[in-house]
Amino acid sequence: MKSKIENSGARRHRRIFILATFAILLFAGIVLLYTVEFGLRVQKTRDLNKRIDNLQNLVRTNAAYNKALFKGYEKREKEAADFFYAFTAMPYVYRPFIGFRSVPNYHHSTINTNSLSYRGPEFDVVKEQGVFRILIYGGSFVWGTGALSDDETVAGHLQKILDKSFAGQRRFEVINCGESSYRTSQEAVFLMIEGVYLNPDLVIFLDGANDTQRWNPPLPSGYPIEFEYVNKMVSKHNPRLRKAFTIDDELEYLKGQRDLVWSMKAESELLSRFRRLSGCEARNKPQTGEQISPYEYALRHFYNLKSARGMGREFGFQFAFAVQPVPVAFKPLHRQEKEILGLLKNRDPYYTILKYWEEHYITYTDAVVDLCRTEGIPVLDLKKVFENNSDPLYFDHVHVTGDGYRIVAESLHEWLDKTGMLTPKTSD
């Protein structure tokens, strides 16, 4: 009897010991989980602090954002500083079906927009007799980010070249229809609702970079920018598009992210997984973020070009496409260009596109060129336009100095002249 009581007590002690051990292990596991979670949050905070410090240091040292010290602006630092100040201060307005546009009648020593919001001088909407009018569409590369005056953009340089080449013989009017961040879907709509009524003789789309930005929906031609999409972009979560981008905007954003790390709304993947395992969270959430192949991007880009060419046939103007050069393709990079690109490539999230371009930009643009040639759309591939130039031209991931835009304009002029597209189209 005594033995049975002793055995029962021993079993009870074992159960208590097992339960206590399990409770201790469970408690230790939970403590470990939250310790890891705490460590992750501390590390994330440190990473954000480092990014904030680096950004503030870049501002102080002028290493990236004071682009006035870029070697390509040597002896023009004052002009460059004035330009980048004016550029970051310039407001934007929203245009239905197109998107954001530069504010009209913005005047500065380095940047001027006319009453139609185009960068450059005023012009008569009704074209004068005998004038050959050229409209150039594109993103900020065409608008002229980095061009220290309106006549140092691609359109400005082309105007000067044509005036000199045809002095006293023929009159040309080159209009800069570029706008920051624009893609061919926007440009085709822009051409349709406004450009065709300017009675152009030649329309050029100079594109490539923006159509490969994977955070932008690559809409086919004719699709307006959704109001909900625009409204979301200008919400408090996306302050960069309420005005031109400034360092203060990014610092504010990063500091907000740092605060969110310690907020209940910023729960980590580790804790989320724990909640799912414990049955505290709904499972099988829908997946978002469709991956689109480079060829699909190329095809949608081509459809927009085809739409523009169709408008040319309808309204009686010639249409041509030129591929935009980017620094990851062919150019022998200057030491300072390498430093800037190396810096930007590692700054998530704004410049991860550089890594994508390294893998896909040549394939993507080659596909667009092949599609255009098959369809008979005149195309000039400018990817190799800087292949023999090791001068400092790129001051960031895509934009060049006025010298870079001049080289593009010279190549464009040579090609247009050679192909006969500068000759007025005779009416039937």
Boundaries of every domain in the chain: 71-218+292-419
| CA 307 to chain CA centroid, nearest Å | 23
What CATH fold (topology level) applies to the domain 71-218+292-419?
Rossmann fold (3.40.50)
d(CA 178, CA 74): 26
Q: What is the maximum alpha-carbon separation in the chain?
A: 126
Residue 245: predicted pLDDT? 43
Query: What is the reported pLDDT for 282?
Result: 41
- With residue 172 as reference, give the H or E element that holds it: strand 171-176
Task: Tell me the C-alpha distance between 178 and 140, whole Å.
Answer: 6
The pLDDT assigned to 144 comes to 97
pLDDT of res. 185: 86
Distance of CA 206 to the CA centre of its chain: 15
pLDDT at 252: 72
* Residues of the chain falling short of pLDDT 70: 1-10, 54-66, 214-250, 253, 261-292, 346-351, 426-428
Distance CA 47, CA 319 (A): 49
Distance between CA atoms of residues 129 and 302, nearest Å = 33
Q: Among all chains, which residue has been given the structure tokens 């359109």?
A: 155
Tens-place pLDDT, residues 416-428: 999 999 988 765 4
Q: What is the DSSP letter of 113?
A: B
Q: How does DSSP assign 66-109, residue by residue?
A: -GGGSGGGTT-HHHHHHHHHHHHH--EEEETTTEEEEPTT-B-S
The torsion angle over the Cα atoms of residues 221, 227, 233 and 239, rounded to 10 degrees, is 130
In this prediction, residue 82 carries a pLDDT of: 87
Rounded Cα gap, residues 338 and 19, in angstroms: 62
pLDDT value of position 351: 67
Predicted pLDDT of residue 64? 40
Distance (Å, whole) CA 334 – CA 351: 19
CA–CA distances in Å: residue 17 to residues 6, 30, 44, 129: 16, 20, 40, 100
According to DSSP, the β-strands at 92-95 and 99-102 are antiparallel
293-350 pLDDT, tens digit per residue, is 778 888 888 989 999 999 999 999 999 999 999 998 899 999 999 988 887 776 655 5
Global pTM reads 0.73
Residue 115 φ then ψ, to 5°: -65, -15
**For residue 8, what pLDDT is reported?**
66
DSSP secondary structure, 239-276, as one string: GGGSSS--HHHHHHHHHHHHHHHTSGGG--HHHHHHHH
Whole-number pLDDT of residue 240: 44
The answer to whether the Cα torsion of 26, 30, 33, 39 is positive or negative is negative
